[in-house]
Structure formats: structure tokens, C-alpha cells
Amino acid sequence: MKHLYIKFFLIILVIVSCSKDSDEGYSQTNTQSNVQTSTNTNTGTSTSASTGTSTSASTGTSTSASTGTSTIGTSTGSSSSQGDTFDRGSILSNYSDNIIIPRYNTFKSSMDNLKNSIETFVSNPNSENYDTFQNNWIDSYKKWQYVEVFNINKAEEIMYGLKMNTYPVGKERIDNNIQEGKTDLTNPNDWAAQGFPALDYMLHGIAQTKDEIIELYNTDAKYGNYLTTLSSTMNENTIQVVDDWTTYKDVFNSSFDNSATSAFNMMVNDFVFYFEKGLRTNKIGIPAGRFSNDPLPDRIEAYYYSKNSFGNLSKTLALEARKGFEELFLGQNSNGTEGASYKSYLDYLETDIGSSVQTKLILAKDAIESLDDNFLTQIAENNIAMLLAFDALQTIVVNLKTDMLSNFNIAVDYTDADGD
């Protein structure tokens, strides 16, 4: 009997021990499962539901709910250190209220002045009216650099950017349009025959000197007619885009979910695309020959203004574009007051990407400012400096296109053949 009691006692001990091991094993398995479920891998996979909820981050957990808030992990920290929420909608509100709409209104005012000066010059082509027209062209072209990035909604729908600033200008197309008396420029083949580059040609390219150009307007009404068509087309397109923001603003501000069609995601992509293509590539890279066997100096912005020695504007436009981009990145209005921005979002995620971009933008400014005021002279005499300015901009592209988009868990929505 004694041995029997001992056996029963041993059996009970074994059962208790197994039960304890089983509980511990379940606990460990469940914990690992939860970690795997709540932490994304570095594949950048994201999930977005109709409620606006999204899971994102390269190594942490991220949720964007219908309240406009988003919890995002970073590439350098765990999800537990990023457990709060960020209001992505606040960026859209700051951008629309304090940057986008004010910039468009300022641009429209400059376009009104330009249109009036063109009408005055066409009705009475003389030196004084020519100078006023040219000054307003320069002013509007500089202000254009601050709105070109906003290729969204109506601007995208009507191809606003392509109609306002496609260069190099289509010289032969313009000459043909002038002779035909063409007034409808909706054909895509006419994108390079309108906008600011076309005004550059009409101001500085149809003849070699100011007096010769004025004489053409005085002796052949076809030039004035086409100039009027250019002015009317640019203003009509601008009015469409500016007016659209009065109704689109509320839609824009509330479209903050993490999806390919949300305003937030599209705006971020437009932001990166503009810097990479509109600024880095078009203003510096292509003219410097970064994508060709030789430099292509005729591809600079405001080409005829420099070519025929009226003045130099290409460098100024590049600097204005960089400044407008920087202010948008920092969420700054025209007075320098900062609000919610891509930079503040990155800071919230506890990355150094925002600070790195900010520093590199200053270095890019220095690189561009070191260039000759005349890009044609710079390319001809020391093209290496142009390529160095390109390199300074390129380092920022990597931060934006790879690092920032990854931290925001946003996929690139455009393709290119640059190998970036």
C-alpha cells in the first residue's frame, strides 16, 4: 500500500508539471504571434480599409484611422516607442489654407498684371510697354515656381503644368501657329507652343534685338494676335485651377487615408516627382548633359532671354523653385510661420530624415548660387559645376523617394528610367 501511495503521488506531480509547461509554451507562442502580427517587415507592405485604417512602417506598427490620425513605426525604432498618433490631415489643412491657396492667389494676381501688360503692348507696341510686359513676364515666371508642384485635381485634369511650362519651346510650331492665326491650343502638340516658354520666344526669340521685335509687332498683326491667344489661354487655365480650390479644399483636407488615390498620398508623390523631375532633372540635369552624351544648353529655362542677351533668368528660377520646395517641406507660409508638414511628420517618427533633407537643401542652394547667372556661359565654360549642382540635388532625391516614402508607407506612383 505504501508503494501504491507513492506511485499516486508521483503521477500527480507529473500531471501538474506538464500542465505548467503547457501553459508556458502557449504563452510564449502567443507572444511571438502577436509580435509578428503587429510588426511589419521591411517589405513595406500596407493594408488600407474603407474606413481609412492602414497598417504601415518598415519595422514598426502603423495605423491611420478615419479621424485623420496615424501611428507609424520608424526604420530605426520599434513600434512600442511610436505608440502615439499623428494627424496626417493637419498637414493637408496647413498646406491648403496657408500655402497652396495663398500661393495660387498671388500667382493669379501676377498673371492678371501680365495679361494687362500684354494687351497694352499689343495695342501699342513701344519700348516702354515692352519693358512692362517683360517685367511682368519675369515676375509671373518666378511666382510660377511656387505653384508648379501642385499637380492635383483640376491642375492634373487639364494638364496645367504641361501647358504652362513645357520647354524647350516648340519654335517651329509657334512660327506655324502665328502664320495660320491659330487660336485653339488644346492639342497636346501645342503644349510646347504656349505658356511661359512661348512668351519667352515671343519676347526675345522672334528677332535678335528689342527694336527688331517691336517692329515685327508694329508691322504684322499676326504676332500680336498670337500673343493675345497665349495670354488668354494661360489666364483661362489659371482661373480654372484657382477657382477649383474653393470647392476642392474640403475634399483635399479630408482625404488623408493611406491609399493610392488619397490626396495625401498623391500630394506626397507629386512633391517628390516635382523635385526629382521638375527641379533636379529639367532645370539642371538635362541642360548639363547628365542624361545625354553631351550638354544640351538650349534646354535651359528661359532660353531665349539668355541666348539673345536680354538678361539671365534660368538660375533665378531654379533658386525660386528650390525655395518654394523648401518652404512646402517645412510647412512655411509666406511669412515664414511653420505648421504641420512632411518635416514635422518625419520628426514625429523619430527619424533624422527631415533634418537631413533640410541641411541638404541649404547645400543645394549654395551649389546653385555658385553658378554663373548665365547658364549658357556656365555650361560652355565649366559644366562640371552644373553637374555638381545636380549631384547636390540628387542626394535629396534619395532621402525623399526612398527614405521619406518608406517611413510614410507610401508607394511611388510614377516610373522613370533614371535608375534612381
- Copy the grid coordinates of residue 116: 494687362
Please provide residue 116's backbone torsions phi and psi, each rounded to the nearest 5 degrees: -65, -40
Residue-wise pLDDT for 337-361, tens only, equals 999 999 999 999 999 999 999 999 9
Whether the pLDDT of residue 80 is over 70: the answer is: no
Residue 124 has pLDDT above 50, yes or no: yes
User: Which CATH fold would you assign to the domain 88-408?
Assistant: A middle domain of Talin 1 (1.20.1420)
How does DSSP assign 191-231, residue by residue? GGGSHHHHHHHHHHTSSSSHHHHHHHHHH-HHHHHHHHHHH
Radius of gyration from C-alpha coordinates of the chain: 29
pLDDT in tens, 203-246: 999 999 999 999 999 999 999 999 999 999 999 999 999 999 99
Q: Do residues 62 and 409 lie in contact, with contact meaning Cβ atoms separated by under 8 Å?
A: yes
**Cβ neighbours of 252 (radius 10 Å):** 23
Taking residue 67's Cβ as centre, other Cβ atoms within 10 Å add up to 12
Is 70 exceeded by the pLDDT of residue 50? no
Domain ranges of the chain: 88-408
Contact (Cβ atoms closer than 8 angstroms) between residue 34 and residue 42: no
- Within 8 A by CB and 6+ apart from 79, the residues are 38, 39, 57, 59, 60, 61, 62, 73
Partners of 47 in beta bridges = 55
Contact indicator for 356, 348 with CB cutoff of 8 Å: no
Angle at 68 between CA 66 and CA 74, to 5 degrees: 110
Closest CA to 324 of 164, 155, 159, 150: 150
How far is Cα 195 from Cα 208, in angstroms, rounded to an integer?
A: 21
Which residues, in sequence order, are CB contacts of 410 under 8 Å at separation 6+? Answer: 258, 265, 268, 269
Query: CA-CA distances (angstroms) from residue 250 to 253, 255, 416?
Result: 5, 9, 32
Q: How many CA atoms lie within 13 A of 336 on its CB side?
A: 0
pLDDT tens digit sequence for 36-46? 333 333 333 33
Distance CA 291, CA 394 (A): 13
Is pLDDT above 90 for 296?
yes
Note if the bond before 168 is cis, omega within 30 degrees.
Answer: yes
What local confidence, expressed as pLDDT, does residue 398 receive?
95
pLDDT digits (tens, 9 = 90+) for 155-168: 999 999 999 999 99
Per-residue pLDDT, 47: 35
pTM of the predicted protein model:
0.81
Q: Name the average pLDDT for the chain.
A: 85
Q: Residue range 373-397: average pLDDT?
A: 98
CA dist., res. 242 & res. 104, Å (int): 6
- Give helix 101-123 / helix 221-254 axis angle, nearest 10°: 170
